Amino acid sequence: MFCLRRVFNPRTISYLNPALRAQTVSRWSAFRSYSSPAKDFVRSVFSDVAKNYDLMNDLMSIGIHRIWKEILVQEVISSLKLSHRHLSKDYFSDDFVPDHLIVDILDLAGGTGDVGIRICQLSKDLKFQDSNGFTLHDALKITPKVVVCDPSEEMMKLGREKADRVGVKDLTWEVAEAEKLPFKDRSFDIITLAFGLRNFSDRKAGLGECFRVLKPGGRLLVLEFSHCENELFSALYKTYSENVIPLLGSLVAKNEEAYDYLVDSIKKFPNQQELAEMFKSAGFIHVSYRNLTGGIVCIHSGFKKL
């Protein structure tokens, strides 16, 4: 049985460190007065659009959101494969060498589960590799334990159905607010957060919770809309987002206000450098970011100090 195997699942430390978004006009108007939306507003928005959420993502981005999420997941997989470099010999003695490493992953604001499901699909039979891609320690396998967390029960229901359709069974689903996570300190090795940070009612508190539930050495990866760095590209994207996206929301999701919110939330969101500073203020180290599609979106990374 699994419980008889030599399993390494550290609860207090992670070794993955490489160096160490309206139901009413009044509610919509209320949102526009603040840099961060109210919890009830965001929950109602996503409950309203849940049924068409995935379809709208495909239409709005012409399918490119799948590529962005794939790049995020590949970053997770790379961290898993290379984690052997950071295994401390203090925890691997001569009389205890595990043959199975469990890695705890939180897909925060996971919605319909795109990222969590994909992590499970790509992490089958993972083994440690060196920097050149050579597999190390044939007996030592990696098993990610993924928790998808989101405040919208409707979104999570669709996510569970999606996971069942594609045959992914080993996911845990948790309905919760990012600003008050129901997890113990030092619970996760990696936290992914795809297109959710904009919708936090309190981003400082949300990042603080991410820091709290990460194990020392753990990594936070945030995929979020950002600010185009090319002026021409930025002007084209602004025209598209302000005109086409709300129209699609009206025609497909029957909720133009929800997608007006999306566009406005992107405008109000901190730029790359500002978000990097927010990471640092929350306590993260080795903070970096990577622009995708000219800066329309960006992957931000930060680690919790060992």
Question: What is d(CA 86, CA 72) in angstroms, rounded to the nearest whole number?
Answer: 21
DSSP at 85: G
Cβ–Cβ under 8 Å, residues 191 and 210: yes
Tell me the chain's radius of gyration from C-alpha atoms: 20
- What residue type is assigned to position 215 of the chain? K
Tokens (6 digits) for 195: 């297109």
Kindly state the helix (H) or strand (E) to which residue 304 belongs, with its residue range.
Answer: none
Who's near 202: CB < 8 A, 6+ residues apart? 36, 179
Question: What is d(CA 25, CA 31) in angstroms, rounded to the nearest whole number?
Answer: 10
Question: What is d(CA 303, CA 288) in angstroms, rounded to the nearest whole number?
Answer: 10
Beta strands in 226-303 (DSSP E): 285-292, 297-303
Instruction: Give the count of beta carbons closer than 10 Å to the beta carbon of residue 254.
Output: 12
Distances in Å between the Cα of 165 and the Cα atoms of 44, 154, 169 are 26, 17, 10
Question: What is d(CA 12, CA 247) in angstroms, rounded to the nearest whole number?
Answer: 48
Tokens (6 digits) for 285: 């180290």
Question: What is d(CA 53, CA 253) in angstroms, rounded to the nearest whole number?
Answer: 8
Paired strand residues for 103: 144
Q: Which of 115, 120, 109, 119 is nearest to 66 (CA)?
A: 115
Q: Do the annotations mark residue 112 as ligand-binding?
A: yes
Cβ–Cβ under 8 Å, residues 44 and 152: no
Query: Residues at the annotated binding site?
Result: 112, 150
Please give the annotated binding residues for S-adenosyl-L-methionine, written as ranges. 112, 150
